[in-house]
């Protein structure tokens, strides 16, 4: 027995003509608020508040940012504004970089590297030895 697997499950269904349910709500809400503002406020206030409202509802309905809805982008902006942004750097250890080489476990250069690493159990503090270690690591990495 063969079954069909749905392919486009991330695509929203078109409900009202060419609009999805979400787009219809954004456009309907923006137009509804603009109509209420038009009848209750002076024309100058309506123009000042109505144009940004229309742009926001249009962006929410139709403008994707990096192939994601504008509402996700707007939520990220609000979270960024709301949270604190104090970043402190604290050095945790004296070792600059210590990484095992990537690749197969039976690699001969990997075994040499591990034996060299075991031989130098106490890290040296001078710059020339650190530069030499980095050069050796760069030569032993597969490209």
Q: Give pairs for 69-76: CB < 8 Å, separation 24+.
A: 69/22
Domain of residue 65 covers 14-71
* Sign of the dihedral through C-alpha 64, 70, 75, 80: positive
Torsion angles phi and psi, residue 65, rounded to 5: -115, 115
- The total number of structural domains in the chain stands at 2
Q: Quote the CA–CA distance of 8 and 24 in Å, as a whole number.
A: 21
d(CA 1, CA 17): 36
Whole-structure pTM value: 0.52
Per-residue pLDDT of the chain (143 residues; tens, 9 = 90+): 788 887 777 777 787 788 888 999 999 999 999 999 999 999 999 999 998 999 999 999 999 999 888 999 999 999 999 998 887 887 766 655 556 555 555 455 555 666 666 555 555 467 878 888 888 887 776 65
How confident is the model at residue 10, as a pLDDT? 74
Domain-embedded: residue 21: yes
If asked whether residues 19 and 67 sit together in one domain, one would say: yes
Residue 131 maps to a domain: yes
- Cα–Cα distance for residue pair 37/42, rounded to 1 Å: 8
């Amino acid at each position: 027995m063969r079954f069909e697997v749905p392919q486009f499950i991330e695509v929203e269904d078109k409900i009202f003509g060419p609009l999805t349910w979400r787009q219809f709500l954004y456009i309907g809400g923006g137009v509804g608020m603009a109509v209420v503002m038009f009848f209750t406020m002076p024309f100058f206030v309506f123009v000042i508040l109505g144009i940004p409202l229309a742009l926001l509802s249009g962006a929410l309905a139709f403008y994707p940012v990096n192939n994601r809805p504008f509402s996700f982008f707007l939520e990220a902006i609000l979270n960024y504004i709301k949270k604190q942004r104090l970043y402190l750097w604290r050095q945790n250890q004296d070792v600059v970089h210590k990484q095992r080489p990537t690749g197969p476990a039976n690699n001969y250069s990997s075994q040499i590297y591990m034996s060299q690493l075991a031989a130098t159990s106490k890290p040296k503090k001078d710059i020339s030895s650190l530069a030499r270690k980095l050069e050796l690591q760069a030569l032993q990495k597969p490209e």
